[in-house]
Chains A and B, each alone.
Chain A
């Protein structure tokens, strides 16, 4: 098992987000540029300080670099997949550690709502002739296997959507702040049975930018650094022609083996979780794979407010993809940084010193942020 070198000294020093919503009059370039402007201001940096650029989802990194006028010595592009947010942050950290760049801006722009993007319905996919389509259906299938194998119920799953909606109500920026009760959750229409409407993420427009630099530079800047103390990635692509039979358990376990040892932060010292939630069951898979909940018991484990503010592991305090904004992991990483800096107002985790981002996908990633350096 290759365990990456310890004592990372890289930090997030600036974060920027646009408003979330429907903005048909602009495109993802404008959303990305607005987010970058906000992140630079947040960090107290100018464009001259940026020598690396990572672009995701915005159609052309080249056009984006023209628009924002950066002088770059490191550029990386990632397509419009949620798994790419964690991967991109890892690439940025590695590039800084390797001396390829000093300060990297990561920029994401998503106008999927205005463009009426549908996540499913690709006519040339292998299983389309039988009507099997959409990532949501894959998650519905994985949740069914969790139900069959462990007896997990839809009523247990409801806790994920209800928790994140409660958190979103405390977040002025969230798209969906209206209270959601258990009855409404169960009465909602099925999209792909066993998943219903509130198990699905939002689709909205928005932009996110994150600025990463060395710990040494970070300590000279205005805001308290959010140190990236540990990170890991594990792919299960060889079997990804079908939904993951183990709900990505083994691949997440590999990430868990690395990230806590590398960071020197124990699982029990994690104050909050940011879990990629395109569909609610994936939160269960992430909690089991990362070792928070015993395998097969996440449905029971999350009851009683464990994921709620004031609970043991407050999760997706911004409301997540289900209720805040569908920024494909990017805004969850921003929320992790804002929690570390104690900037979260009513939804602030008290005494927050360590926050872990987890994405359970065919390429699983995790990033552990902390207020203190290694």
Chain B
């Protein structure tokens, strides 16, 4: 598996700053529309459901389910020393938000749809903490 830190670091825009601040505090946080209550991710300036702008940030449970995954055998990041193969999973959090992420504690060939996972926070560098996921026993 690849070492954390070998991928490009996150690029922060005005909307994603609170997300990355929250992960440093080991919280998984997303925008919730202040008008209709819909959650949205990636962060943005308006609600795709009701199109109103205001949002609050709420913490998620951090629990979710692996829906899909792929295994990279090619390193596209030419400037980075990425070890292949590595897996990327699509995790659907219990609140419905989906994240592409890396799994810990499970070999790529043991990944399966339906696997229950829990967020684990990993230090990326001095500035960023990255949410990854690990299998959890709880249903």
Contact = CB atoms under 8 A, between A and B. Distances in A.
A190 B84 CA distance: 11
Contacts of A144: 68-70
Contact of B100 (A123, A132, A238): A132
Contact of A193 (B70, B90, B113, B128): B70
A309 interface: no
Given A128-B77, A130-B100, A140 B82 contact: no
B137 interface: no
A141 B68 contact: yes
A168 B82 CA distance: 35
Interface string B67-110: 11111111011110010011010100000001011100000000
Interface string B43-69: 000001000000000000000000111
B9 A129 contact: yes
B70 A140 contact: yes
Contacts of A123: 8, 11, 77, 79
A124 B79 CA distance: 13
B8 A129 contact: yes
B33 interface: no
A194 interface: yes
B68 A190 contact: no
B95 to A, nearest CB: 15
What are the 4 A-B residue pairs with the smallest beta carbon separation, nearest first? Answer: A121-B76, A123-B8, A193-B71, A120-B76
B73 A131 contact: no
Interface residues of A, number: 29
A130 B2 CA distance: 10
B42 A241 contact: yes
Contact of A129 (B70, B72, B90, B130): B130
Interface residues of B, number: 34
B121 interface: no
A141 B69 CA distance: 6
Contacts of B70: 132, 137, 140-141, 144, 192-194
Contacts of B100: 127, 130, 132
A261 B68 CA distance: 37
Interface in A185-202: 189-194
B69 A134 contact: no
B78 A121 contact: yes
Given A123-B77, A128-B8, 8 more contacts: A121-B77, A124-B8, A126-B42, A132-B88, A140-B70, A192-B72, A192-B73, A193-B72
A263 B83 CA distance: 52
A128 B98 CA distance: 15
A221 to B, nearest CB: 46
Contacts of A193: 70-73, 85
